[in-house]
Every structure is written in C-alpha cells, then in structure tokens.
Structure 1
Amino acid sequence: MTQSDYVPRGSARFALPRAAAPRAFDFVLLPKLTMLALSAAIEPLRVANQISQQELYHWRTMTPDGAPVRCSNNLSLVPDGPLTTPERGSRVFLCSGVEPAETLDPRVVHWSARHAAHGARVGAICTGAFTLARAGLLGGRRFTLHWENQPAFMEIFPDLLPTPNLYEIDGELMTAAGGSASTDLMLNVIESDFGHEFAQVVSDMCLHGRSHSEHAPQKTAQSAILGSRNRHLIAAIRLMQANLEEPRTVAEIAAEIGISRRQLERSFADHAGQSPRQYYADLRLARAYALLSETDLPIAEIAAATGFGGASAFARTFRAKFDISPGKFRKRW
C-alpha cells in the first residue's frame, strides 16, 4: 500500500503537528478469527489517519503461509503476505476467534516466541492469548481474552489467570477481549500518542462510547443481568461462580451470606425466575458446555471440574438441559 492508501479522504478534520515516522502494526490472522475484533482494532487507526490527513499509522496482515484465512463468520480474508519479520517498533497482535485451542498454529507460536525474544511487542486480540500462552509469553503478566473462552483457557493453562476486563496493558504487552474492546484498546494507544482530544474525536467518528478504562468488565454485573441491586443475591451468585468444582449446598450459601434459605429461594424466584439450585446447575452446565466445545478433556474430567461427581450424573443433567448427550455433542464439533 502507498501512503495515500492509508490516508483516505473525509470532511472531518483535526489539525495535528506534522508527525514523525508512522507507527506500525502487524496483525497475524489465525483461522476462525472474529472479523469484528479485527476491524474494531484497525478502523480507529484508519480514522486517526483520515481526520489528521497524515499517515500516523500503517498496518499489514499476515497468515502463517500467506494464504487466505476464513473467519468465524465464514468470510475469507486475503492477507498482505506470510509471516515475516515485524517492522522495527511495530506492535504485533495475534488475532484468533472461535475454537482457539484447535486453531493454534505451531508456526505462529514459534514465530511469536522468537520475535518477542528479540524485542518485538507481541500482543493479542480476542482469543489470541491462547497462542501467547503456548509461546510462554504470559507468565507473571496481566492479560485478558473473551469471557466465553476463559474457562477453557484456564483448564489448558491452569497457571495463568486472565482478568475479566475489556483490555489489559501490562508494560509492552497489550491484550483485548475481542469485539468492540479492540476499539477501546486502540483509542487508549491513540490517546497516548496524540492526546485525549484527538482520541475523543476518533471515538466520535467511530460512534463508539469509550469505557475510558481497561479495568471496565467485559460482562455486565450480575445485578444488571438480574435487574436487581440485591446484595445478598449478588453475593450468592459470586459464591456459586467461585465454587463450580465443589458446589456448596443452598443452605451453606444462605448461611454464609447471612440470610435464611427461604429468603435466598425467594430472591432467586423473584429476580431469576428459578430456584438457586437450578441457577447453580446452569452455571456449572455452562462451564461444562464450554469445556466440551473448546478442550479435549475427557468427559469424566469435565464432570469433576464442574461439580457433577461422576460422568453418568453429568450426562443425565447435560442431556436434560440440552437434549443431547455430552459424547454426541462433542462429536458435532
């Protein structure tokens, strides 16, 4: 691409002093990546160039062999080329999406580890953290990935704990959870490079309401999900989430949060439309569903990891919920 290719025309303007050399980004595309997360990262850079009428940023895309890659929405993207040495000072982002454990590519793992060892700034978007972890680049670091994929990630990499936040910046390591969180991360970069007012105009051009903090959570709070500010209910749900492998009884949860079992059951009936026991079982089944979809763990281990004790009890509960056995469900993937 030429310089003009990176600086499209537009009517909105924001005058900036003439910038030095443009800042470079390399996006490594893995099969089944989420197109939303990728475009949400690139578009703020494009908008920054457009409203300043300068090449503040440029970027390129790569795949392991330079071949087109099919996204999670079944559209194909043609990259700029195969894996190559990152431009000096470039920020590299590994872009993945659904089924991240299955789409791990040893070539990208090796490439990432090698260039990080030579000073490259390698980060991740959406589930690209799976590749970073396999490359040994997340130990002792703060990072995130999409909430849907975190249970599977923690089963595969039990010594690594992602945060629930939209994005994380830990020194030179940048990770975004995917979706529009990629835009939030890039707006942070743009603000660091060219100031708050400029970043705000870019945000407005993207019609994006900024979170203004990487510590904003990916998911709405349980109180918002249930339409309640009931502190006892929220405390009960948090206890359930923290004890999926070894479930507490409803009586134990009620006692720990300081209310009666009857009060707890009434709160769940009023705000969740189900009993606390049903809600707890659904949380455990949701985790089991993710582990079946995204890991190769034996069904017996998944049953144990989600508090069902044995494979037969897990299979009965799973079939009652999803109308299919765990084994048949896994064969569909």
Structure 2
Amino acid sequence: MTNQTPRPVVTHEDPKVLFEIFVQRKFCDLELASVIHTLQTANMVHGSAHFGWRIISDRPGLVQGNGVCLVRAEPVIPDHCMADFLIVIASKTADPAVWMARIRSMRRLGRSVILLADASTTFIARTQIETGAVTTHWADAVVLRETQDQPRLTENLSEFSNGIITAAGRGATAELVIGLLARDLPVSDITEIGRHLLLPEIRTSSSTQPFAPEAFHKFYDKAVSDALAIMEDNLTDPLSIAEIADEVDTSQRCLERRFRAVFETSPGHYYKQLRVRRAHHLIQSTKLPLIDIATATGFGSTGTLATAFKKFYGVTPSDMRGKHRERVLDYSADV
C-alpha cells in the first residue's frame, strides 16, 4: 500500500479569487470565523492558495467583534482595490453608509455582494425591494414583518436579487461560502470541504432556516410540550385546537395563552406552520406528487396547499419544485 503525500498549500502566489470582508465594531465573531476558516479549508483541499481575503472596515485598525474576536482591518478606499466578492459582516448599531457605498461600487463593476444577517437586515429595512426575494436571520425577519410591509422577505438561508445575496448568516455562513466557491472547484473538492468542516450536509440556498422551536420540547412547560408532540403526530389528519387542549388536560383558552407566551402566535397558526414546513421538506427531498404531499400534510388538495405555501414562502409548491436543485446556491449561475 502506497502512502499518498498530501498536496502542499502554496502560500506565496497571488490568489486567483479575492474576497473582501467588511466588518464593523461588534461584528458577529462566528460569521467572520466561518468565512475565513472555510476559505482556508478550501485552499487546503485545493492544494494551493486559490482563494485570498482581506479585512476592511469603516474604522480601520483593531476592530472588536461582539465576543472575544479582535481583527486588524484595512481602510476602505472608495472605488479602489475592489475584490471579486464583498462579504459584509455589519453591526446593527453602526452607520451603514460606508459599506452601502461599497455595495454600489461593486454592483457597477458587476461583482458579487453578500450581506450576512445584520447587514442583510439593515439593507432590507433601508431599501425598497421591488423585484426579487430577500432574506435575513429569522429573528430579524419577524421584526421586519411586524414593522414594515415586506412581501418579498422569505425564510430561506439565502436569496439573490438585483446583484446582491442576502443571507441568514450565523451558523449557515460556511455553507453559503462553499456555494460561492462551487463555481471554481469540482464537486469532489466541495464535498471534501464539507467533510473537513464536519458538516452533516451542505444545504442549498433555498433550504428553510432551522428555527422550528418544536425540536426543543423539553424546554417548555408540559402543556405546550405535549401539544407540540400531538401536532407533530397529527400532521396528516389535523386535530382542532379544542381537541388538542383536551388531550393535554387544559382549556383551549389556557393553551392559547401559553402558546402566545412561548411562540408569540396562536396554536392554530403554529400548527399550520408545522404542516407547511413539512410540505416544504417533502417538496425538496422527495419526488412525491404534490397531491400526495398535500394529503400527507393535511391540506387535502393542491390548491389549498398552494395558498398556504405561498403565504409562508412567497412561491407556490410547483414553482419551488421547478427550480434547479443540483447546486449549493440555486442561483449560482447568476452570481
């Protein structure tokens, strides 16, 4: 058996693809670490310093993140030193003027712009989005929907429109960066990067953000926990909220109150969300006919499913299934 020598990483050559990472004071440590570690892993797997990066800021010098991360950032030179990709890791408390101007410069050159979480939230709140979908971290999306009319806001991990990728960021940052690298690397390298990062899977950009609290039953009081379990066990043939309340030995009014305290919504609305999310999973991960998916999630007809589905995801089930699903970024051909 012959020992295979790993390919060396060449560090002295200029990178062929350059990322510019814009940070602001109190940036998300996890997002910056995810971006850089994914690029480092990609270079290791590729066997050369194919991908490079530099960190810039509106306040150059040492920039403190929201945790223990401290980085040295270069100054932003307007309309100069533009990279292939601009990734913005902003702060909700800082002025977005500098990175918003940098976005405009990048778009004039046809370069790629990626806004993570806080940057995405700020951009959506300040910009009137007329075409295309946008997204951000689900917690910010809840606030945006309550304070503004945001019909184009989705729950996907990332969206691409008008030359800009808006993204949930946080723990999904590495997968987004892998998607950006996919156009320069073979599939074997992409999967190897995922293995090195210990990702259980590489989710596509159209995957729904994993914020379903029903996965954490044990943290809620018994009535809510038991109600969630009953809902999950009865997605095909939904029960009435009165029946569920009776099953958990409480009144419907009491269950309503407890649900709103935990989820800030009614049990009926939450129950429908569970069914729609299950339909979303089946549409993405199976080839079941839509009528079978509608039946399996308690909607009874494709029309009823389509109405509920479009309300949550902004597209119909048939439109979502019609999208190309073989890439990490479903819009990668356009980036």
TM-score range, shorter chain: 0.5 to 0.7
How far the C-alpha of 1:149 sits from its partner, in A, is 1.7
Please give the alpha-carbon distance, in whole angstroms, between the structure 2 residues aligned to 1:113 and 1:268: 55
Structure 1 CA distance, aligned partners of 2:17 and 2:128? 23
State the AA in 2 paired with 1:228.
A
Equivalent pair of 1:169/1:214 in contact (CA under 8 Å): no
Give a deviation string over 1:190-212, Cα, whole Å, max 9, x none: 22321211101111111222333
Aligned length: 245
Give SS of 1:79's match: strand
Contact 1:96-1:128 at 8 Å conserved across structures: yes
Matched, 1:142 2:133: yes
- Give the corresponding residue for 1:262: 242
Kept in 1, the 8 Å contact 2:19–2:53? The answer is yes
Distance 1:20 1:58, change over 3 A: closer
Contact 1:33 1:96 in 2 (8 A): yes
Which amino acid is the alignment partner of residue 51 of structure 2?
A: Y
Q: 1:75 corresponds to which residue?
A: 69
**Aligned-partner Cα distance in 2 for 1:183–1:216:** 14
* Most deviating of 161-170 and 47-56: 161-170
Task: Check 1:279–1:31 CA distance in 2 against 1; reply closer, same or farther (3 A cut).
Answer: same
Structure 1 residue 62 displacement after superposition: 0.8
Residue 53 of structure 2: SS of its match in structure 1?
strand
What amino acid is aligned across from residue 23 of structure 1 in structure 2? V
Q: Which residue of the partner structure matches residue 191 of structure 1?
A: 182
Q: Is residue 184–residue 210 contact of structure 1 (8 Å, CA) maintained in 2?
A: no
Q: Percent identity over the alignment?
A: 15
- Measured in 1, the distance between the counterparts of 2:184 and 2:215 equals 35
Question: How far apart are residue 137 of structure 1 and its match?
Answer: 7.8
Deviation at 1:68, TM superposition (A): 2.6
Residue aligned with 2:189, SS: helix
Q: 1:284 matched to which residue of 2?
A: 264
Q: Is the 8 A contact 2:20 2:83 kept in 1?
A: no
* Structure 1 residue 76, shift from structure 2 partner: 2.6
> Given the alignment, which residue of 51, 58, 64 partners 2:52?
58
* Structure 1 residue 87, shift from structure 2 partner: 4.4
The CA deviation at 1:155 is 4.6
How far apart are residue 109 of structure 1 and its match? 2.4
| One-letter code aligned to 1:278 | R
Q: Is the Cα contact below 8 Å between 2:144 and 2:150 reproduced in 1?
A: no
Q: Please state whether the residue corresponding to 2:264 is helix, strand or coil.
A: helix
1:106: how far off?
A: 2.2
- CA displacement, residues 73-109 of structure 1 (integer Å, 9 cap, x when unaligned): 1533211333543645611111125xx2x32332322
Residue of structure 2 equivalent to 1:230:
231
Rounded to whole Å, the distance in 2 between the matches of 1:212 and 1:191 is 13
- When normalised by structure 1's length, the TM-score is 0.62
Per mean C-alpha deviation after superposition, the further-off stretch among 84-93 and 37-46 is 84-93
Match of 2:169 in 1: 178
Unaligned runs of 5+ in 1: 1-10, 236-256, 286-333
In the TM superposition, what is the alpha-carbon distance from 1:110 to its structure 2 partner? 3.0
The verdict on how the C-alpha distance between 1:231 and 1:207 changes in structure 2, with shifts beyond 3 A counting, is closer
Q: Aligned pair in 2 of structure 1 residues 71, 172: CA closer, same or farther (>3 Å)? A: same
Task: Quote the RMSD (CA, aligned, Å).
Answer: 3.5
Q: Quick one: distance in 2 between partners of 1:229 and 1:199?
A: 40
Matched to 2:256, the amino acid is P
SS in 1 for 2:159: strand
Q: Structure 2 length as normaliser, TM-score?
A: 0.61
The change in CA–CA distance for 1:35 and 1:269 in structure 2 (over 3 A counts) is farther
The 8 Å contact of residues 109 and 131 in structure 1, kept in 2 or not, is answered as no
Whole-angstrom CA distance in 2 between matches of 1:74 and 1:261: 46
Residue 101 of structure 2 corresponds to residue 107 of structure 1: no
Distance in structure 2 (CA, Å) of the matches to 1:258 and 1:207: 37
Instruction: Tell me which amino acid in the other structure corresponds to 1:53.
Output: G
